[in-house]
Structure 1
Amino acid sequence: MKFTMDIPVGVITAGEFQTVEAVKSMAIALENAGVAACYVTDHPAPSAEWLHANGHDAIDPFVALSAVAAHTTKLMLHTNILVMAYRNPFLTAKAAASLQVLSGGRFILGAGAGYQTVEFAALGVDFHKRGKLFDEAIDTIHMAWNGGVVVKEGMGFNAIGNEPRPVPQIKPPIWIGGGSPAAVKRAALRGDGWSPFFAAPTMTAANQESGIHTVQQLGENIVQAQEMRAEAGRAGPFDVAIGSRTKLDYKSRETADKYIESVHELAAVGVTWVMVEAPHPSRQAYIENVKWFGEEVIARL
């Protein structure tokens, strides 16, 4: 089992998280603790109402992960998630390939359909076309990463003989976010992994509906995805990443024991990565919690 942990570069507390030194110290702490990847999210123009209620800020994911890459050597760089419809797919392909090349092949492109209608409107993207735009983006990005000339007319672009570069020697894996049937199908047929989430009462109604409700349901969906991949003749690794429903207090061995039990339960149904969000009331507290997680969870697994 591997772990991908939130690195809180979006938190705007002055001097705590949004500095080069902060990114460096947090990234090094993650790598030293044995965390396999760190993740950031994507909100270029979020709803102000959501942001000031229970939302969260976000630095541009490619800029943030480039800073992380500059101060680490093994830590993988994970977008969780990048909303595909927000950007022209050639721009996404360029940014992702650039990060993959300059990081030495450490990028994981976690991608999703998105859910904030206000954010789609601000970016000039039709919310109701987000599924079709998502699929088109994945197909176009692969064409760009294959190298050579691309000829493709899309819903909002027309490549009539363009040659995107750089071409990554190893393509970044694409993990598809979301727990809906459409997300499972997209992950199986177009992705290299699936990244659902457990539904929680604090989520929006749409996210509660598309979230996973039980470990049994999760396992059934993983089996379904694997069957769809086999029917389509798709081979190669297929990762599944999700957060545990067991909460840690980052203090006691007892809570670590319960958490480890939950990790084994997830592994038994086919999960390969566990997503973690360590408390971060301050940068120092975050670093201490990362260290504790490495000693009490990762080292014991």
Structure 2
Amino acid sequence: MKYGIHLPHAGEQAVPALIRQHAERAEDVGIEDVWVSEHIIVPRAKFPRSPLFFDPVLSLTWAAAVTKRIKLGTSVLVLPMRHPLPLAKELATLHNFSEGRLILGAGSGWLKEEFSALGVPFEERGRRLDEGIAMMRAVWSEDPVTFESRFISAEIKEMTMTPMPVSQIPLWFGGSSEPALRRTIRIGNGWHGSGLSANEAAPVVRRLRAARPNADFTISMRVQWDGQDRGVLRALVDGYAAIGVEHLLVAPQDRNVDDWEKVMDGVGSLVT
């Protein structure tokens, strides 16, 4: 099992100094990767304590600047909310600046009000996700590139976008809906599940591994832990390992009040 830790880039405790501190410490104790999540603009009533989210790409760039080895992941970027071309530029830049350490966790999103504020049709988010991924992969690999789009406003004919990524950016899809799982099997390099117990995730893991048996397809889960009872954390690890999960991202149960240091200590204790 490999382990990741969520950085304190969201919630009441999020400040740049803590993002840097936790990224450096995670690397020092041998944790595999550090992660951030995303909201751009949120309805206040749905975030009664703290709606603070630092930008995920810039937060990882900040973390990359003070580390050398640890991988950098998004859990997850809501791709349909963003135009693929500037995002492709940002991600390629981060990947190159970090010497190939980025893992792109991507999803279709769930917060309808956020899509409305950004002027993106919520009902098209799945189709926009598919088209956006195809567009980014095209500009990351073809020079010149021509791409015909249906849902995203773009006219790309014999054009160039550089820098291209120094290596392929792994793409892990979140979500456990039928469309999300089909997308993961079709074009993903991994699955980054969330919100499922080991028993609930077991049939999903079996399906994904049957369809994608190759070793370079990663099965990951995001779990929450409050940093208190390490026996609870050990039980989570053992339960997911038993069903074939290979990577766990551990995030605080409540990012506003949990002790991030204790969460970090607990995850660090798992690394051998």
Is the TM-score greater than 0.5? yes
Match of 1:118 in 2: 113
Match of 1:298 in 2: 271
Match of 2:233 among 247, 259, 270: 259
Match of 1:241 in 2: 220
Distance 1:191 1:111 in 2: 10
Distance 1:36 1:61 in 2: 18
Distance 2:108 2:208 in 1: 18
Match of 2:30 among 12, 29, 34: 34
Equivalent residue letter for 2:217: F
Equivalent residue letter for 2:202: G
Equivalent residue letter for 1:71: V
Distance 2:206 2:256 in 1: 39
Match of 1:207 in 2: none
Match of 1:22 in 2: 18
1:236 CA drift (Å): 5.8
1:248 CA drift (Å): 5.2
Distance 2:191 2:266 in 1: 28
Distance 1:30 1:191 in 2: 26
Match of 2:164 among 152, 163, 167: 167
Indicate how the Cα distance of structure 1 residues 32 and 113 shifts in structure 2: closer, same or farther if over 3 A, else same. Answer: same
Structure 1's unaligned 5+ residue stretches are: 199-211
Contact kept in structure 1, 2:250 and 2:267, CA below 8 Å: no
1:65 aligns with 2:60: yes
Match of 1:89 among 84, 87, 93: 84
Contact kept in structure 1, 2:3 and 2:250, CA below 8 Å: yes
Match of 1:9 in 2: 9
Distance 2:10 2:256 in 1: 13
Contact kept in structure 2, 1:185 and 1:228, CA below 8 Å: no
Root-mean-square deviation (CA), in Å? 2.3
1:128 CA drift (Å): 0.1
Match of 1:201 in 2: none
Distance 2:223 2:20 in 1: 27
After superposition, the C-alpha distances for 1:239-282 in whole angstroms (9 at most, x for unaligned) are 1111347x4543xxxx4344324313212222111111146668
Runs of 4+ off more than 3 Å: 226-230, 247-250, 278-283
Match of 1:222 among 201, 205, 208: 205
Match of 2:248 among 271, 274, 292: 274
Equivalent residue letter for 2:271: I
Match of 1:209 in 2: none
Distance 1:118 1:10 in 2: 19
Match of 1:182 in 2: 179
1:145 CA drift (Å): 1.4
Equivalent residue letter for 2:244: G
Contact kept in structure 2, 1:3 and 1:275, CA below 8 Å: yes
Structure 2's unaligned 5+ residue stretches are: none
